[in-house]
Amino acid sequence: MFLGKIKIAAATMLTASLLAGGAAGASTMYDGAYDATSVNTNGNLHSIWLPNLISNPYDNYWQFVGGAGTVSVDGGADTLNVSGQIENNGNEANGTNFLFEVDMNFAYREGAFENAGDPMRQPAKTVGGPENETWEYFNMTNATLTGAGDLLGLVLTLTGFSKSETKVQPFQIGVDANDKNAGFGASAWFSWEVTQNSTHFQISDSSGHQHGDLNINLEAVPLPAAGWLLIAGVAGLGAMRRRQKRT
């Protein structure tokens, strides 16, 4: 009987951990994994905006291949990662194969971000309403866009964008935080610099820091099937225990 209690307790604790995404002791309320999909700006679907990168053929907008990238928030380590592969919106029309592998890493930022008269992001323009009490912020630690396809060999190193030395703009996550619609999402401004040029397609201007945007809708990834099986197993143990009590 005592062994049965231990098994039930252990299963219950593991289930709770799965449901919480391992968020015990986490600083962020957004611990977990999310699908990151494109927003719509004046009819242009995009997840990343990179102006002044490709001059001919030219398109500023990029989307995740397959429709979604991944945002992973590790509450225990207070880190956030954005990953996936993006393709240029003009690829099909121009017969090109411009691709980047995305790897953006951030560290949790304590407290609210004060715009201090130099705003990056206000509540979404289409909402114009609630303050951002539920938004959370992360500082960019290291991030790259690594070229693939026609951009093979190209590496862009990213840093947090700043209009001044004291106002580096953070990644923000929450309702309205993608700055494009009223949904749950995230956004960030960043600077990029060519740290390695492509062997197939030379970037014409690799001097100085250029500007880019990340704007994404977010949707929590459902609990894995193993998690639901575990929950069903715990429920089954509970039912068995109740039957044993009645007999």
What pLDDT sits at residue 82?
A: 98
Check pLDDT > 70 for residue 121. no
* 175 in Cβ contact with 184 (< 8 Å): yes
What pLDDT sits at residue 7?
A: 31
Tens of pLDDT, residues 161-180: 876 666 778 898 988 888 88
Question: What number of CA atoms fall less than 13 Å from residue 223's CA on the CB side?
Answer: 15
Q: What global pTM score does this model have?
A: 0.75
Amino acid identity, position 106: F
Q: If you average pLDDT over residues 191-211, what whole number do you get?
A: 77
State the Cα–Cα distance between residues 19 and 64, nearest whole angstrom: 27
What pLDDT sits at residue 132?
A: 62
Higher per-residue pLDDT: 14 or 233: 233
- Predicted confidence band of residue 198 (pLDDT cuts 50, 70, 90): confident
